[in-house]
Amino acid sequence: MSKIHALQNFGGNVQVVLHTPMPSGNNSVGVSWKNAALNSGIQGITSMTEGTGAGQITTAEKTNVLNGSVIEISGRSIPYASGGGGLPSVNEMADLIINEYKAGLQIQLQYFGFVTG
């Protein structure tokens, strides 16, 4: 799995698609994070085209995104200045975005699947 797919550069900000494993475990009502994310429609889709070329997602990686094993985060950009930190800074920013996204996803889906009645 590729963590960072860099797409376009806009004046020092690189548009990226990020991939990270889905958290294990369940939400507060016993629904797995994977099922909650898939059944809510938040995950299970990719914005990338399938292929082996630059800017594409491999078939295996696409399968993992579609089945909810891998989270795809798109529509983000990371500042990149060739003289000011370079790739380590891009990796650190990607990790921050991923961690914030996962935390937000778990808050958003904390009670997904609760039924009464």
Q: What is the pLDDT of residue 88?
A: 65
- Average pLDDT for the chain: 92
What's the pTM value of the predicted model, to 2 decimals?
Answer: 0.90
Residue 112 above 90 pLDDT?
Answer: yes
Cα 1–Cα 55–Cα 73 angle in degrees, nearest 5: 60
pLDDT value at residue 12: 79
pLDDT of residue 83: 56
Own/partner pairs for 9-13, CB < 8 Å, 24+ apart?
A: 9/80, 10/77, 12/79, 12/80, 12/81, 13/77, 13/78, 13/79, 13/80
Residue range 51-77: average pLDDT? 95
